[in-house]
Amino acid sequence: MKMMSAKSLGSAGVLLAASALIAGSVAAQDLPLKSLPGDDQRDHWLPEQVNVSGKLEALQAATGKEAVKFTGSLEKPVQIALIYPSADVSDFWARNYLALTKRLEQLGIKYETTEFASRQIEHELQSTYATQVEQDADLYDYVIFGPSELATQADNIEKLAGNEDFVTYVWAFHTPLKHFKKQPAAWFDFSSAYGAQVICSYMLERLGKDVTYAMNRGIPGVTDNQRSGDFKDCVAEKGNWNVVYEHYGEYRREGGFDGTNLILQAYSEATVIHNANTAMAMGSVEAQVAAGKHKEVFSTGWGGTGLELDAIRRGELDATPMRMGDDVGAATAEAIKADLEGRSEELPLVFLGRITVAHDQLSNEEIDNLEKEAFRFSGVGALKR
């Protein structure tokens, strides 16, 4: 916890702030907590290398439970600056803003926010915002930074993290960069690698070993390496699954449609098709339905979006790793509460939102409940803009 707490807390809070400063958190020079194969090939640490055992699970649990009120007192509302590409098409930022603020209200923490919006491609504008916030550090208690792109904004993240006047959190990334001399207080995101393990475990349990399958992959890169590559490695190692074809569909509906048609025609032995995002999954089930094969092929999506859930309800999609979408914002509110209460040492450096599996063996009511849980703060359905 930073010295900022003395600005917002009463006398009891000042004592808490002092104790938290003594306790501290894992320092950058202490990382990694453990080494893993491939460390020399990465410019970042993996979550399991930087999180003390049990801390992630504890914050996930707190995020998923009913709010427990803040125990301290505030002399004035905490001031939160948000620098993020919320002017872009994705509703990730707006949903997590709603989750953050509504959870803070549930926790009984008064707040005021200042938003610095940009589009995903406006790197220079984000840099300008970061400089402005850093220069006006005395105005803010917390800074939430959603980088337009991690490498491009790395210097700005480190600059903000090094400012002792406020606490810095990062949204939408879970890859602490190795070269940082000072890490942000926490990173908040969903992990494609974790999702791959979740859907792998589910499918092995349901379908067993020695399965022949095919894949509609995205675009070569980190995300697809995790969503598709980690899944491929997991089912091969734990279930002796055999992949007969891998189609790069570029995360597009057309790519999933074309890839699935190829699979159905040339690789009829494949009884499972793994899709790496929603768009390809929708194209894949469209091709299967057109060919009358959707009852014969086990198909997955990725993310648990409304389109995927509707396809599961229709019996066209079988399973998908479903993100509890509002977890990032809600967990950030819980982190602010922990910081204000002098418990920042209890927090993980990297928070990963919960991912579960939505599937066709669930009732419509159970799927509805999952959807309500995922968007319990921001609301089910499209956001009004």
Domains of the chain (ranges plus CATH)?
A: 5-190+326-353 (3.40.50.2300), 193-323+356-364 (3.40.50.2300)
Helices 364-374 and 306-313 meet at what angle, rounded to 10?
170
The pTM (predicted TM-score) of the whole model is 0.82
Using a 10 angstrom Cβ sphere, with 0-12 exposed, 13-18 middle and 19 or more buried, the burial of residue 342 is buried
Q: Let me know how long the chain is.
A: 385
Rounded Cα distance, 320 and 199, in Å: 7
**What tens-digit pLDDT sequence spans the chain (385 residues)?**
333 333 454 433 433 443 333 334 567 778 999 999 999 999 999 999 999 999 999 999 999 999 999 999 999 999 999 999 988 756 789 999 999 999 999 999 999 999 999 988 899 999 999 999 999 999 999 999 999 889 999 999 999 999 999 999 999 999 999 999 999 999 999 999 999 999 999 999 999 999 999 999 998 887 899 999 999 999 999 999 999 999 999 999 999 999 999 999 999 999 999 999 999 999 999 999 999 999 999 999 999 988 999 999 999 999 999 999 999 999 999 999 999 999 999 999 999 999 999 999 999 999 999 999 999 999 988 777 5
Cβ neighbors of 239 (< 8 A, separation 6 or more) are 204, 208, 209, 210, 211
248 is written with which tokens? 């790069």
- Beta-bridge mates of residue 9: 74
Query: 233, 204 in Cβ contact below 8 A?
Result: no
Sequence-ordered list of residues with C-beta below 8 angstroms from that of 198, at least 6 positions apart, any chain? 321, 355, 356, 357
Q: What is the pLDDT of residue 122?
A: 92
Radius of gyration of the chain from Cα atoms? 22
3-state secondary structure of 30: helix
183 neighbors 175 (Cβ within 8 angstroms)? no
Residue type, 357: V
Q: Could you tell me how far CA 47 lies from the centroid of its own chain?
A: 12
pLDDT number for residue 90: 64
Q: How far apart are CA 241 and CA 234, in angstroms?
A: 9
- The answer to whether 284 touches 254, Cβ cutoff 8 Å, is no
Cis peptide before 85 (omega within 30 of 0): no
> How high is the pLDDT of residue 104?
98
Structure confidence at residue 121 (pLDDT)? 86
Q: According to the model, what pLDDT value does residue 309 have?
A: 94
Euclidean distance between CA atoms 316 and 347, whole angstroms: 40
